[in-house]
Amino acid sequence: MAPGIAVAATPQVTQPDAAPQVIQPIVVPDNVSATPLNNAENIYYLEQFTSGKANRIVSGFAHLDADVGYPAAMKELRARFGDPEVIANAYVKKVLSWPQVRADDPHALDELSILLIECETATQSIGRFGVLEFAENLKIIISKLLYSLQERWELWFST
């Protein structure tokens, strides 16, 4: 803890995913801004609970007066990581570049299903869910599945 900072509760800040394909949005306004902390404490927490590019951005503003640096850091974080269009496109790109699931890896199938749910949510938030329903994209997504599941899809669509 930084000297001179009294903290009642630790705000929960979602760190951006370190994977280059998808950068998670930073959920800060509901967590950090809603707590009764001043800007110096808020920027301190942002610096502690972010990593990668987000942390470099926050660190770049941390040396400024907190009443200037914190709002500027938040504005930059929202611009870079809070654009729903960019987030949705990153999810689609990650789904389409996902490796094929192997028969001996049920964990990978579960991870793909979670990613598809995240992608659906992200694309629905900007009204672009149809992008996953393009024939080319569906073909790519189905090719990620086990061969037996691909056969089921083929049978289901042929009837």
C-alpha triplet 144, 145, 151: angle, nearest 5°: 125
* Predicted confidence (pLDDT) at residue 71 exceeds the cutoff of 90: yes
CA distances from 70 to 13, 36, 38, 58 (A): 15, 15, 10, 8
* Predicted confidence (pLDDT) at residue 86 exceeds the cutoff of 60: yes
Task: Tell me the pTM.
Answer: 0.54
Mean pLDDT over residues 57-65, rounded? 93
Q: Which residues contact 120 (CB under 8 A, 6 or more apart)?
A: 129, 132
State pLDDT tens for residues 125-147. 777 666 777 778 888 888 888 88
**152 or 68, which is more confident?**
68
Q: Which of 97, 119, 79, 118 is nearest to 21 (CA)?
A: 97
Domain ranges of the chain: 1-82, 84-158
